[in-house]
Amino acid sequence: MYTTWNWFLGVLHLVTWGSSSTLLTIYAMPPQSPVQCSTTGGCTLYNSYGVWGDRKDCHAPNVTYPTTEQELRSVVAYANQNKLKVKVVTKFSHTIPKLACPTSNSEASLLVSTEKYNSNIVVDKDNLVVTVDAGVGLREMIDKVEEAGLSLVAAPYWEGVSVGGLISTGAHGSSWWGKGGAVHDYVIGLSLIVPARPSEGYSKIIRLEAQDPLLNAAKVSLGLLGVISKVKLSLERGFKRSVTYNFTNDDHFEDVFMDHAKKYEFADITWYPSKKTAVYRYDERVPLNVSGDGVYDFIGFQSNLIMISKSIRATEKTFENTRDVKGKCTLATTTVAAKKLVSNGLKNGLIFTGYPVIGQQGKIQTSGSCFYSSSSFSTCAWDPRINGLFFYETTAIFAAPKFGDFIRDVKKLRDLNPENFCGVDVYNGFLIRFIKASGAYLGQSEDSVVVDFNYYRASEASTPRLNQDVWEEVEQMAFFKYGAKPHWAKNRNLAFLDVQHKYPNFNRFIAARKQLDPQNMFSSEWSDEILFGKEAANKGDGCALEGQCICSEDRHCSPENGYFCKQGLVYKEARVCRYSHSLSDNEYFYGIRY
Ligand SMILES: Cc1cc2nc3c(=O)[nH]c(=O)nc-3n(C[C@H](O)[C@H](O)[C@H](O)COP(=O)(O)OP(=O)(O)OC[C@H]3O[C@@H](n4cnc5c(N)ncnc54)[C@H](O)[C@@H]3O)c2cc1C
Ligand SMILES: *[C@@H]1O[C@H](CO)[C@@H](O)[C@H](O)[C@H]1NC(C)=O
Ligand SMILES: *[C@@H]1O[C@H](CO)[C@@H](O)[C@H](O)[C@H]1NC(C)=O
Ligand SMILES: *[C@@H]1O[C@H](CO)[C@@H](O)[C@H](O)[C@H]1NC(C)=O
């Protein structure tokens, strides 16, 4: 999630619009546990954005917190013996789709948390390998690895995740060099606890080594094959990086992205369509003896004062309610300017003093300082306890040769009215990253380009959003016109439609699941919905608003609020919910007839 608010932007808002947040509620930070149990009602699983719990559909009678591999094994045996469905949850629960939700027949299910299964981090310096308990946090692992003078090459940009969770959903940073930007491509061994016959004690531990074909299924498994207990990752000798951002115009970036990715080991590009700005990240390795003690403390992952997060949300809501596109554009301008000024959160030391910023791999690749906030007044901007930011995140993974045409289409849509794109530039624009071809069955079979964009999500599912037709069209273009694959840890449900046919080794994954978990103990209707990506037979009223369906009738949008099901403006096959005052108005909405 790449929200962009920092304190000084916030202060600006307070000055500009005044603060409507009158009360500061005092909370004990850091983040609350994703599993909340009550004495009467069992346990509810929330993700870090707090979105599942409300619907009462992510629920189990009980949760358990094993601390050792043997305890994990006993839990799986117990569940197998008692025919319970099992879902593994983490301390972090940062995944957006409901992969970790157990069956809605909640009486026969059990949540197994890895929160307390996190004590072992074993670095083998000679062999350049680290082996960890699956519940270990990414940051703890990286710090141990760096202490030993080594570096983990790939990691997601957000560090508040567990090692087991992040590989399970294919999490990645950005690189087309070496093994590439996806963490699972550095997995060289993994232990999996799966159900077994009574004679074997109802569960067993399988140790998968690098050559085992099952490892290709287990590296990215969405939690569907069993409980991952140990993960072994390959490392390199410690290194530093030298990073420079170039904020420039967005001409031709769709023609040069491949050269950029080939030239810089950790290249990425951030595109702000409404601002016609592309930000190239020039990021390469330098030896350890080059001076520099820089860090990347990404601005969107820094702590925010709670009152500021609330006030920004209130401002955003006002723009939404008053259909104030210009207001959003002002906000986008301020945001991009602020990010340029502070180089997105790169710091040479305590502050940013100039490019390049040079620092240790462990301090540059991934960040998340808001996660450790010790103050009662500040936290991550999206903390669900504070009514702060609330947004969608669409993440589409393209075969590299198709990406340029996708951007050309988005530019056409943008050029019809650039202001319609201010809503993403208020967040982090389009973040464009690179991952290499992988042997993982649910990983990318070819060199790929990943694009992420965030945009406002209404607090009420039934409330349509400003310019939502634009995001819907881009979303449908990505997933259906260009056949992009959805990131398993992000996206709205419609992005997963037909996903099984996009992975050439999908059937091998299913075969592995049959072998390891013949009773589908680790699957639920919620994870099936993602894995098999089928649209609901009965499309309910308003289902397109939250991405539960693609509209085919006006009632799937929100006709009472003036949102009707219309065709796309550039991608005509798209079906999107578009606002119009009246029919004739709608026909000329963009000054063109369509
Ligand atoms: C602010 C933010 C920024 C992000 N940035 C990036 C990014 O830069 N790149 C990127 O690729 N992703 C990114 N993500 C997504 C994130 O990497 C994934 O959501 C990741 O899976 C979260 O890890 P987790 O430990 O919270 O796992 P969870 O969300 O708790 O679990 C993920 C899945 O794995 C399963 N699972 C977890 N542990 C085990 C285990 N031990 N055994 C079996 N199954 C298990 C769960 O059942 C679930 O299905 C970001 C997310 C956020 C919130
Ligand atoms: C939940 O599990 C714990 C042990 O993990 C057990 O002591 C407790 O009785 C269980 N609660 C219910 C309601 O099943
Ligand atoms: C930034 O990028 C533009 C366009 O590619 C290029 O012309 C310019 O030289 C770059 N600036 C720096 C400082 O690298
Ligand atoms: C760094 O070390 C290498 C040898 O390992 C040496 O060639 C180089 O000059 C050193 N650079 C600096 C800046 O000290």
Tokens 């789709």 sit on residue = 97
Residue identifier of the C-alpha nearest atom 19 of ligand 1? 95
Q: Tokens 């607090």 belong to which residue?
A: 459
The pLDDT of residue 7 is above 70: no
If asked whether residues 414 and 268 sit together in one domain, one would say yes
**Among candidate residues 457, 479, 500, the one where a domain is terminated:** 457
What is the CA angle 174-176-177, rounded to 5?
Answer: 110
Residue 284 belongs to domain with CATH number:
3.40.462
Please list, in sequence order, all residues whose beta carbon lies within 8 angstroms of the beta carbon of residue 229, skipping any fewer than 6 positions away.
69, 72, 117, 133, 134, 191, 192, 193, 205
So what's the pLDDT on residue 309? Answer: 85
35, 44, 62, 67: which to mutate for ligand 2, most atoms within 8 A of CB? 62
So what's the pLDDT on residue 19?
A: 32
**Domain presence at residue 490:** no
Average pLDDT of span 437-452: 98
Here the CATH number for the domain that contains residue 61 is 3.30.43.10
Tell whether the model's pLDDT for residue 521 goes beyond 70.
yes
Q: Are residues 413 and 442 in the same domain?
A: yes
Q: How many angstroms is it from 289 CA to the middle of ligand 4?
A: 6
Among 244, 246, 250, the mutation site with the greatest number of ligand 3 atoms within 8 A of its Cβ is: 246
57-61, 360-364, 441-445, 448-452: which range is least confident on average?
57-61
- Do 276 and 358 lie in a common domain? yes
**pLDDT tens readout for residues 460-478:** 888 999 999 999 999 999 9
Pocket test for ligand 1, best of 35, 63, 93, 95 (most atoms within 8 A of CB): 95
Whether 433 maps to a domain, the answer reads: yes
With a 6 Å cutoff on the Cβ, whether 1 touches ligand 1 is yes
% of the chain surpassing 70 pLDDT: 92
Cα of 285 from ligand 4 centre, angstroms: 14
Residue 503 lies in a domain: no
pLDDT of 16 higher than 60: no
Closest ligand 3 atom number to CA of residue 282: 14
Count of structural domains, the chain: 2
Q: Is residue 319 part of a domain?
A: yes
Atom of ligand 1 nearest to the CA of 489: 19
pLDDT score of 51: 79
282 and 379: one domain? yes
Confidence of residue 239 (pLDDT cuts 50, 70, 90): very high
pLDDT bucket at 165, cuts 50 / 70 / 90: very high
Confidence category of residue 106, pLDDT binned at 50, 70, 90: low
Domain boundaries, position 55: 35-113
Tell me, yes or no, whether 302 and 439 share the same domain.
yes
pLDDT digit string, tens, across residues 334-356 = 999 999 999 999 999 999 999 99
Please indicate whether residue 62, judged by its CB atom, sits closer than 6 Å to ligand 2.
yes
Other Cβ atoms closer than 10 A to 10: 21
Mean pLDDT of all residues belonging to the chain: 91
Least confident of 47-61, 117-131, 515-529: 47-61
Question: Do 170 and 182 contact (CB within 8 A), yes or no?
Answer: yes
Residue 387 is which amino acid? N
Distance separating alpha carbons of residues 591 and 594, to the nearest angstrom: 10
Report how far Cα 45 is from the mean position of its chain's Cα atoms: 18
From 46, 158, 366, 395, the mutation candidate for ligand 1 (largest count of ligand atoms within 8 A of CB) is 158
Same domain, 297 and 350: yes
> How many angstroms separate the alpha carbon of residue 42 from the centre of ligand 2?
10
Domain boundary (60, 83, 113) is at 113
- Residue 118 CB–ligand 1 contact under 6 Å: no
User: Which residue's CA is the nearest one to ligand 4's atom 8?
Assistant: 289
Q: Which are the contacts of 19, defined by CB distance < 8 A and separation ≥ 6?
A: 307, 311
CA of 287 to the centre of ligand 4 (A): 8
Q: Are residues 10 and 55 in the same domain?
A: no
Q: Which of these, 594, 442, 406, 462, lies nearest to 531 by C-alpha position? A: 442
37-81 pLDDT per residue, tens: 988 878 999 888 877 755 567 889 999 999 999 999 999 999 999
Closest residue CA from atom 11 of ligand 3: 246
The angle at the Cα of 583, spanning 581 to 585, to the nearest 5 degrees, equals 60
The number of the ligand nearest the C-alpha atom of 63 reads: 2
Cβ neighbours of residue 521 under 8 Å, at least 6 residues apart? 79, 80, 84, 85, 86, 195
pLDDT at position 15: 32
Please write down the HEC assignment for all residues of 54-122. HHCCCEECCEECCCCHHHHHHHHHHHHHCCCEEEEECCCCCCCCCCCCCCCCHHHEEEEECCCCCCCEE
Query: Which residue from 67, 86, 88 has its CB within 8 A of the most atoms of ligand 1, so it is best to mutate?
Result: 88
pLDDT at 104 over 90: no
* Residue count of the chain: 594
Based on the fold, state whether residues 246 and 107 are members of the same structural domain: no
Cis amide bond preceding 198, omega within 30? no
- Of 403, 436, 457, the last residue of a domain is 457
Are 107 and 61 within 8 A, CB to CB? yes
Ligand in closest contact with the CA of 356: 3
- pLDDT computed for residue 13 by the predictor: 38
Does residue 400 share a domain with residue 344? yes
> Has residue 587 got a pLDDT over 90?
no
- Residue 10 pLDDT exceeds 90: no
**What is the CA(359)–ligand 1 centre distance, in A?**
26
Q: Let me know if residue 584 belongs to a domain.
A: no
For ligand 4, is residue 288 a contact (CB within 6 Å)?
no
- Taken in order 416, 419, 423, 428, the sign of the CA dihedral is positive
Query: Using one digit for the tens of pLDDT, what is the confidence trace for 546-555?
Result: 999 999 999 9
Using an 8 Å Cβ cutoff, are 418 and 424 in contact? Answer: no
Does residue 232 sit within a domain? no
Q: Is the pLDDT of residue 113 over 60?
A: yes
Nearest-CA residue for ligand 1 atom 35 is: 223
pLDDT at 495: 97
Residue nearest to atom 8 of ligand 2 (CA): 62
Contact (Cβ atoms closer than 8 angstroms) between residue 257 and residue 448: no
Please work out whether the CB of residue 137 comes within 6 Å of at least one atom of ligand 1: no
Name which residue sits closest to atom 12 of ligand 2, judged by CA: 62
Q: Would you say the CB of residue 287 lies under 6 angstroms from ligand 4?
A: yes
21 pLDDT tier (thresholds 50, 70, 90): very low
Q: Are residues 371 and 404 in the same domain?
A: yes
Judge whether 288 lies within some domain: yes
Specify if 188 maps to a domain: no
The model's confidence at residue 5, banded by pLDDT at 50, 70 and 90, is: very low
Q: Whole-model pTM? A: 0.93
Tell me the ligand closest to 113's alpha carbon: 1
Q: Which residues have C-beta atoms less than 6 Å from ligand 3?
A: 246, 248, 280
Establish whether residue 289 lines the binding site of ligand 4, counting it when its CB lies within 6 angstroms of any ligand atom.
yes
- Does residue 200 register a pLDDT over 60? yes
pLDDT value, residue 371: 87
Residue 12 has pLDDT above 50, yes or no: no
pLDDT score of 25: 38
Helix H or strand E segment including 189: strand 187-195
Query: Alpha-carbon distance 541 to 80, whole Å?
Result: 39
- Domain match, 253 and 329 both: yes
Ligand closest to Cα of 37 equals: 2
Q: Which two tokens stand for residue 495?
A: 């992005």
- Ligand with an atom nearest the CA of residue 86: 1
Weakest mean pLDDT among 21-25, 116-120, 288-292, 374-378: 21-25
- Sign of the dihedral through C-alpha 93, 98, 104, 108: negative
The rounded Å distance from CA 348 to ligand 4 centre is: 21
Same domain (yes/no): 429, 363: yes
